[in-house]
Structures are given as C-alpha cells and as structure tokens.
Amino acid sequence: MPKIAVTRWIPDEAVQVLGEAGEVEISPEDRPLTPEELRKFVAGSAAVVSMLHDRIDGSVADAAGPELKVVANVAVGYDNVDVSALADRGVVVANTPGVLTDATADLAFGLLLAVSRRLGEGERLLRARQPWSFHLGFLLGSGLQGKTLGIVGLGQIGRAVAKRAAAFGMRVVYSGRSAKPDFDGEFVSFDELLRRSDFVSLHCPLTPETRHLVDANALRAMKPSAYLVNTTRGPVVDESALADALEAGEIAGAALDVFEKEPDVEPRLLERDDVVLTPHLGSATVETRTAMAVLAARNVVSVLAGAEPLTEVGR
C-alpha cells in the first residue's frame, strides 16, 4: 500500500477516503512541522496532504522520493507550494477551491461589521466590568447602507462578499486583472478603488505582485473614514505600515483574519481598539473544514488511481 503522509490532523471523513488508496500516516505533532521534520515525515510517500503552513518545495519532494505523485494542499491558496519545482519532478499539485467560499465570505462580512460597529470594543468593555450607560454618543460606529465596498480580487469569495454587501444596501466597486462582464459592479483601478471606498476587502491571491499590495502609500490613499478587511493572505498587507496609518489617523480601522508572519501579529495592532483580529478563521466551520479535507483526500485517491485530480492547480 502506498504511503499517504498527512502533515496535521484532518477530519475522520477525509481519513476514511484516503484509506481507500493507501496507508495513511498522520503527523502526531499538533503544530507545524519544522522543515527538517517535514522532510523526514514525508520520506517514502506517494502522496502528501499539506496545510497552508507547510512549505512544500523541491527539497520536500526529493525527501519524499520518486514515489511521490501528488501534493494535495488543504487550502485554496497555494503560495506555500513551489508548483514549478514539483512539476519538474512530475508531481501534481491540487488545492481545495469552491468549498470554502461561503464560510470565508461570511467571516469577511462579519469582520466588516465588527470593526465598523465597534463590537470588539463593546464586548471588551463589558467583560472588563467597566461602568457604562446608554447615551446617544456611546460607542458610535459607521453604518453600511449607501456606503461603497471596494473588493480587491473578484474571484469566488470576492463575488460572495459582493452579494452580501448588496443585501446591506452597499455599492460595490472592484479591481483585479480584468473587468468581469457578468458581474454587476464597477471595475476600477486599484488606486481609484482606494480613493472611493468606505470599506476595502482583500480577496486577491498572494503573489510577488500582491505582496505588500497594501503598503504605506496605499493606506494614505484611502479615506480617513475607511476600513480595511483582510481575509486572504497576511503578507498582502504591510502590518507595520498599517499600524503607522492607524496611529496617524489615516484610516478609521482594520479587521484582519490573516497575518504577515502568522501566527505572530504586529504588536501595535494588538493594543488598538480600532482593530479587530481573528486567528485565521475564514473557513472555520465544521462543514467547511470537513469538505476541504475530503476534497483534498479525493484528489489524492484520484491521482493514485491513475486519473486526473478533481481540482488541480493551474487548470
């Protein structure tokens, strides 16, 4: 039976699917493996089921050996995988698009509401047992109706966020590589999006071009009353520049589910009431995380059976 290396815990439903194709070995460590540990763990594997914190490059493929046929990344993004290096070694790379669209869009919109309506501040006040009383100026936030939401990257998740925004009476503009004729929203440049938007929500993949896409200049281009929401990949935002911008009052607030040096967070952001922070919960529902793992498992089973994966990267 071929060895299938799973770098961290996955739901039982996915393990059962993998069991149809080989001998499943799951890392006993409840943490990301070090590069050395990862190479040792995958040795002799025909398939690797990886997590977004695993750096899968040519050295990992070489450590797995010539039997390696497929790497199934349990995520939509695959910036942690050197797809070119694996392709050179005849290894297929698959990801898990589609199944986490609604969960991530829900979380993005939840963060938007949390930061604009100051929900974190209000909860912290109550949990600290601070005295308070209702009055018309108490913890005033920003409403959504009639406001403009700028979506950076109109993929499946970006479209799902736009759908939720429409239900709240928001206008939507978007930027990306090209206009989408089938989408009822205004296509604008990234610079114009920053200038016009009351809320900016990031949904672009992490590439060399989008690393630090939101830097000091981008933040200065936003309205002082605007909010930034990031549920895509942490390095799309320069966190130090974001802290500077908040300290200078250049934007009104930010909500982040992903971080530049995850799991670490820019310390200055942790101290601010105008920032909402969650620990990479975009896809964190039982249904979604199970569906992601099962899709990854089915990709493995398909490749080991000699067929094409269901969701191959680049196809």
Query: What per-residue confidence (pLDDT) applies to 196?
Result: 98
Query: What per-residue confidence (pLDDT) applies to 160?
Result: 98
Q: Is residue 218 assigned to a domain? A: yes
Q: Is 271 a catalytic residue?
A: no
Query: What per-residue confidence (pLDDT) applies to 228?
Result: 98
Over residues 54-58, the mean pLDDT reads 98
Q: Is residue 314 assigned to a domain? A: no
Choice among 53, 195, 212, 280 that is catalytic:
280
Over residues 276-301, the mean pLDDT reads 98
Over residues 143-151, the mean pLDDT reads 98
Q: What are phi and psi of 240, to 5 degrees?
A: -65, -45
Over residues 94-101, the mean pLDDT reads 97
- The answer to whether residues 71 and 156 belong to one domain is no
Of the chain, the percentage scoring pLDDT greater than 90 comes to: 99
Q: Is 287 a catalytic residue?
A: no
Over residues 211-240, the mean pLDDT reads 98
Q: Is residue 271 assigned to a domain? A: yes
Q: Is residue 315 assigned to a domain? A: no
- The answer to whether residues 56 and 112 belong to one domain is no
- The answer to whether residues 262 and 117 belong to one domain is yes
Do the Cβ atoms of 162 and 172 come closer than 8 Å? yes
- The answer to whether residues 268 and 175 belong to one domain is yes
Q: Is residue 168 assigned to a domain? A: yes
- The answer to whether residues 23 and 148 belong to one domain is no
Over residues 300-308, the mean pLDDT reads 98
- CATH (domain of 112): 3.40.50.720
Choice among 233, 250, 266, 289 that is catalytic:
233
- The answer to whether residues 59 and 192 belong to one domain is no
Choice among 262, 268, 272, 312 that is catalytic:
262
Over residues 20-52, the pLDDT tens digits come to 999 999 999 999 999 999 999 999 999 999 999
**What is the 8-class DSSP label of residue 315?**
-
Over residues 109-132, the mean pLDDT reads 98
- The answer to whether residues 131 and 213 belong to one domain is yes
**Secondary structure (DSSP) of 167-235:** HTT-EEEEESSS--TTS-SEE--HHHHHHH-SEEEE-PPP-TTTTT-B-HHHHHHS-TT-EEEE-S-GG
- On the question of pLDDT at 274 being above 80, the answer is yes
Task: Report residue 173's pLDDT band, with 50, 70 and 90 as the boundaries.
Answer: very high
- The answer to whether residues 216 and 118 belong to one domain is yes
The whole model's pTM is what? 0.93
Query: What per-residue confidence (pLDDT) applies to 282?
Result: 97
Which residue range is the domain that position 64 belongs to? 3-98+286-304
Q: Is 233 a catalytic residue?
A: yes
Do the Cβ atoms of 39 and 67 come closer than 8 Å? no
Query: What per-residue confidence (pLDDT) applies to 74?
Result: 98
Task: Report residue 314's pLDDT band, with 50, 70 and 90 as the boundaries.
Answer: confident
- The answer to whether residues 49 and 176 belong to one domain is no
- The answer to whether residues 261 and 174 belong to one domain is yes
Q: Is residue 293 assigned to a domain? A: yes
Looking at the 3D structure of the chain, how many domains does it have?
A: 2
- On the question of pLDDT at 180 being above 90, the answer is yes
Query: What per-residue confidence (pLDDT) applies to 266?
Result: 98
- Two structure tokens written together for 79: 């910036």
Query: What per-residue confidence (pLDDT) applies to 270?
Result: 98
Indicate the average pLDDT of the chain.
97
